[in-house]
Amino acid sequence: MGKTFEKYVFSERCCELKAGVDSRNDIFRIAEGKFTKRPDDGKRPFEDMFEKHTDEAYIVTFARGIVESWMVSEPVIEPREILLGIPRPHRAIHEHFSCGLYCDTEPCDYDERLADLAPRMFPMDYSYVSDEGVRLMGREAYTAAESCGLWGTGYLGHTVPGFEKLLRVGIGGIVREIDESMERVDPTDTKKVSFLTACRIIMTGLSDWILFYADAAEKKADAAESERDRAELLAAAENARRVAWDVPTNMYEAAQLTWFYALWDTVDSMGRVDRYLYPFYKGSEDDDYVCAIMMKFWEHGVHCVTVGGVTPEGEDATNELSYLLLQILRTIHCVHPRMSVRVHDKMDPALLDLAVTMWSEGFSDPTVVSDKTVISALTAAGAKIEDARDYTILGCQEIEIPGKSNFGCEDGTFSLAKALELTLNHGCDRLSGVRIAPDYGSVCDFKGFDELWDAYVKTVVYLTEIFIKLCSRAVYLRHVNVSKLVKACTTDSCIERALDMDDGGTVYNYGVIETAGSAAAADALYAVKTLVFEEGKIAPHTLEAALTANFEGYEEVRRMLFEAPKFGNGHEGVDKMARDVLEMFWSEIGKYKTPRGDIYTGACALLTGGNHMGDKTWALPDGNFAGSPLGNTIGPRTGSARSGLTSMLRSVASLPLDKGFGGSACNVLIPRDMMDTEEKRDKISGVIRAYLEGGGQMAQITTATLKDMLDARENPDRHRDLFVRVGGYSARFVVLGDYQQEIIDRYSMYGE
Q: State the Cα–Cα distance between residues 277 and 255, nearest whole angstrom.
A: 7
Q: State the Cα–Cα distance between residues 388 and 507, nearest whole angstrom.
A: 12
Task: Flag whether 99 is in a domain.
Answer: yes
Task: Flag whether 70 is in a domain.
Answer: yes
pLDDT digits (tens, 9 = 90+) for 188-227: 999 999 999 999 999 999 999 999 999 999 999 999 989 9
**H or E stretch at 102:** strand 100-103
H-helix segments, 122-250: 127-137, 139-147, 163-184, 190-222, 227-243
- Is the pLDDT at 458 greater than 50? The verdict is yes
How many CB atoms lie under 10 A from the CB of residue 40?
7
Task: Flag whether 156 is in a domain.
Answer: no
Quickly list DSSP for 484-547.
Answer: THHHHTTSTTHHHHT--GGGT-SSB--EEEEEE-HHHHHHHHHHIIIIIIIS-SS-HHHHHHHH
Q: State the Cα–Cα distance between residues 66 and 94, nearest whole angstrom.
A: 8
Query: Which of 34-43, 296-305, 444-453 shows the lowest mean pLDDT across its residues?
Result: 34-43
pLDDT for the residue 2: 42
Q: State the Cα–Cα distance between residues 53 and 47, nearest whole angstrom.
A: 10
Which phi-psi region, left, alpha or beta, contains residue 267 (left: φ > 0; alpha: ψ -120 to 50)?
A: left
| DSSP SS3 for 388 | helix
Nearest of 98, 86, 3, 103 to residue 44 by alpha carbon: 103
Q: State the Cα–Cα distance between residues 14 and 651, nearest whole angstrom.
A: 44
pLDDT for the residue 752: 40
Amino acid symbol at 182 = M
Task: Flag whether 655 is in a domain.
Answer: no
- The model scores a pTM over 0.85: yes
Query: What angle is formed at CA 430 by the lines to CA 426 and CA 434, rounded to 5 degrees?
Result: 70
Query: Which of 76-80, 104-108, 415-419 shows the lowest mean pLDDT across its residues?
Result: 104-108
- Is the pLDDT at 37 greater than 80? The verdict is no
Q: State the Cα–Cα distance between residues 725 and 743, nearest whole angstrom.
A: 8
Amino acid symbol at 607 = L
Work out the mean pLDDT of the chain and round it to a whole number. Answer: 91
Residue 625 vs residue 705, higher pLDDT: 625
pLDDT for the residue 555: 97
Query: Which of 94-103, 516-525, 722-731 shows the lowest mean pLDDT across its residues?
Result: 722-731
pLDDT digits (tens, 9 = 90+) for 544-595: 999 999 999 999 999 999 999 999 999 999 999 999 999 999 999 999 999 9
Task: Flag whether 515 is in a domain.
Answer: no
pLDDT for the residue 609: 72
Query: Which of 155-159, 258-262, 295-299 shows the lowest mean pLDDT across its residues?
Result: 155-159
Query: Which of 118-132, 360-374, 489-503, 596-610 shows the lowest mean pLDDT across its residues?
Result: 596-610
Q: State the Cα–Cα distance between residues 327 and 341, nearest whole angstrom.
A: 13
pLDDT for the residue 703: 83
Domain total for the chain? Answer: 1
Task: Flag whether 339 is in a domain.
Answer: no
Task: Flag whether 224 is in a domain.
Answer: yes
Q: State the Cα–Cα distance between residues 424 and 242, nearest whole angstrom.
A: 66
- Is the pLDDT at 36 greater than 60? The verdict is no
Share of the chain above pLDDT 90, in %: 74
pLDDT for the residue 362: 86
pLDDT for the residue 109: 56
Q: State the Cα–Cα distance between residues 414 and 332, nearest whole angstrom.
A: 37
Task: Flag whether 190 is in a domain.
Answer: yes
Are the C-beta atoms of 626 and 550 separated by less than 8 Å? yes
- Is the pLDDT at 359 greater than 80? The verdict is yes
In terms of residue numbers, what domain contains 199? 35-122+162-249
Nearest of 520, 730, 732, 700 to residue 610 by alpha carbon: 520
In our burial notation (b when 16+ CB lie closer than 10 A, e otherwise), range 667-692 reads bbbbbbebbeeeebbeebbebbbebb
When computed from its CA atoms, the radius of gyration of the chain, rounded to whole angstroms, is 26
**Residues written for the chain:** 752
